[in-house]
Structure 1
Amino acid sequence: MTTTTAKAGEDSAAPAAEIQSSARRRRPRSQARTALAFLAPALLTLLALRLLPAGLAVVDSLRHHSLVDGVTRFVGLANYRDLFGDPQFWQSVRVTLLFSLIVNPLQVLCALGLAALFNRRFAGARLWRSLVFAPIAVPPAVSAVIWGILYRPEGPLNAVLGVLGLPSQPFLTSPSQALYALIVLMSWVGVGYWMTFLIAGLQDIPQECYDAAAMDGTNAWQRFVHVTLPLLRRPLAFVLVADTVSNFLVFAPVQLLTGGGPEGSTNLLMYDVFRRAYSVGDIHYAQAEVVLLVALTLAIVAVQYRLMQGKGEE
């Protein structure tokens, strides 16, 4: 009788265990479906606005539209071969690399300095922080117009130089000054924006780290170098990478202020793409330049990310 009862209990326990096991298997599937439902709008947007246009750009870069017979033909890598043999393309690459080599460290260093300053508590800190951040709220085209007025030969900047007894400067009309004038403009726009990310990173650093370093007898500079910078590595890496991508895509100030001149000194790659596509009318040639611009940006970003994150991950 006891054996029969035990067997009956085992028989009833087995289906219960199977039911629980089946429920545990169904739960992850249900969670995965729910997560996919929430992610679907973002994934579809990414596919429609990023991945699909990127794929079409690659396909179009392998074609050529003839103005003679109006036929679009597949030409393979011919557009890329023509680009690599085009001196104007290499001039744009040199200008873009020089621009990025100067503007990226300048913006990140200024943003870091302002973040360290405005992270302190003093009278008017929030007001000054808002004033530094304000330029990012102005559309790039409007910012370009404002600085175009400042850079005029009879504009406010030359008026200030005249008061100081200094000669007037050509700014945007000089091949040796125009690119640096754009760098100042873009820094005025971008520094406050990147500063906010670094302030958020500074506020995430525990105060106990600074207290422990102070007890060891370190001064303010040593605490900044040995405590702040290592713990701020991830926000700094994000700011540097995002800033690099942003500056590779600068277009509106160049179009409105210099048109790539004078003498090609401000012909950044993004503006050169626009010129080839809409001024020259060779869309497929411009698409090939877009692909190379993206590849160059990704390569530089990968190096930056590795340099910023590599030691910290080891």
Structure 2
Amino acid sequence: MSITPARPASAALSAGHDADSTQGPAVAARRQALGKARRSRKHRRGPRNLMAAALFLLPALTLIVILRLVPVIQAVSDGTHTSLPGSALAPTWAGLDNFTALWHSDTFWTSVQQTLLFNVIVNPLQVVIALALAVLLTQNLPASGVWRTLIFLPAAVPMTGSAVVWGIALRPDGPANALLGSAGIDPQPFLTGPHQVVASLILIASWIGVGYWMIFLIAGLNDIPQVYYEAAKVDGAGPLRRFWSVTLPQLKRPLLFVLVADTVSNFVLFAPMQILTNGGPEQKSNFLMYDIFHNSFELSDPHTAAAELLVLLVIMIVIVAVQFRLLGEAED
């Protein structure tokens, strides 16, 4: 029997190297072909993805154009034209005459003052109450889900319905004054007194809005990792310290979003004034949104109303821009 002598290790390595060197160009060519195929598929997939994204965004973009851009363009057109009430003639170009008339109108400046006063009070008040309720209802209290539903319920009711209910409750002979009378307090002119009407409207707006904004803040609180609170407890931080050092910094984004959205909502608040006060008494509730309605539909002057609407839009943009600047700093 003959035994074939084993090849030295160096010979085996040399043979393997020769095989690799022979197959190397083929493998490299195959890898290059696969890379080109992948790039080609990505290149073809790009336009298809853009087309699919455009199709999904088309309904939203169409609504934005119809419900946002077109009304603004129409308001600019109406605000720079004028016409006689009830005239069949086409409106004539007026330039900035409508804005000049607003500048010299005492009624307009009273409306601006009352609108800003209302928003300076109601916006922080609603955000603070909503934040307090959100923090309270995320503490594993008994029946917290029931309390959330009850607090949110006014936001699910149409604003006109809430305004009518509050109008009945705050009448001179309504339940609120009956309750005060049982305590020996004289009836109060909640919606008919110039010194109480703004406070009454703040109460109505907060009744409607607080529960709605609370839901956003509860969602923000639930997104805060619990490990932060556990670390703060280990460091000996109490409840107030954890609130200031953990909750508020982590809640800046949703908190400022709520502030921005709440500001816009209250600037265009209209139903309670139109249903309950008609801008009175003594123009104390003649906010800009109601004054726009009054000029357009009651005085038949849509051009002045359009100019006033553009002024309101500019005021909101300035305030919201400041708040978004704060939002950007909070994100940093």
- Give the TM-score normalised by the residue count of structure 1: 0.93
Deviation at 1:165, TM superposition (A): 1.6
My pick for the range that moved more, 196-205 or 59-68, is 59-68
Change (3 A) 1:264 1:24: same
Counterpart check, 1:298 vs 2:314: no
Counterparts of 1:212 and 1:38, CA distance in 2: 44
Q: Which string of whole-angstrom CA distances, capped at 9 and with x for unpartnered residues, describes residues 87-145 of structure 1?
A: 11110000000000000001000000000011111222111111111101111111111
The count of corresponding residues between Structure 1 and Structure 2 is 309
Which deviates further from its counterpart, 208-217 or 297-306?
A: 297-306
Deviation at 1:285, TM superposition (A): 1.2
Does residue 184 in structure 1 map to residue 234 in structure 2?
Answer: no
Matches within 5 A, 1:79-98: 79-98=98-117
Structure 1 counterpart of 2:168, one-letter code: I
TM-superposed CA distance for 1:309, in Å, is 3.7
RMSD of aligned alpha carbons: 2.1
Q: Secondary structure in 2 aligned to 1:168?
A: coil
Matches of 1:175 and 1:109, distance apart in 2? 26
From 157, 164, 169, the equivalent of 1:138 is 157
2:59 is matched with which residue?
A: 41
Q: Is the 8 A contact 1:260 1:267 kept in 2?
A: yes
The answer for the alignment partner of 2:130 in structure 1 is: 111
**Is the Cα–Cα contact under 8 Å of residues 255 and 271 in structure 1 kept in the other structure?**
yes
| CA offsets 1:181-200 (integer angstroms, 9 cap, x no match) | 00001101110110011011
Q: Which amino acid aligns with 1:179?
A: V
Q: Which residue of structure 2 aligns with residue 60 of structure 1? A: 78
How is 1:1-314 mapped onto 2 (pairs within 5 angstroms)?
20-67=38-85, 70-310=89-329, 312-314=330-332
Pairwise CA distance, 1:44: 1.0
Unaligned runs of at least 5 residues, structure 1: 1-5
Post-superposition offset of 1:7: 10
Amino acid at match of 1:176: H
Per-residue displacement from partner, 1:141-181 (whole Å, max 9, x unpaired)? 11111011111111111111111122211111101111110
Larger Rg: 2
Gaps of 5+ in 2: 1-23
Indicate if the aligned counterparts of 2:220 and 2:254 stay in contact, CA closer than 8 A: yes
Matched residue SS, 1:166: coil
Distance, in Å, in 2 between the alignment partners of 1:42 and 1:293 is 25
Contact 1:237–1:309 under 8 Å retained in 2: no
Amino acid at match of 2:315: L
Give the fraction of aligned pairs with identical amino acids, expressed as a percent. 48
Cα deviation for residue 8 of structure 1 reads: 10
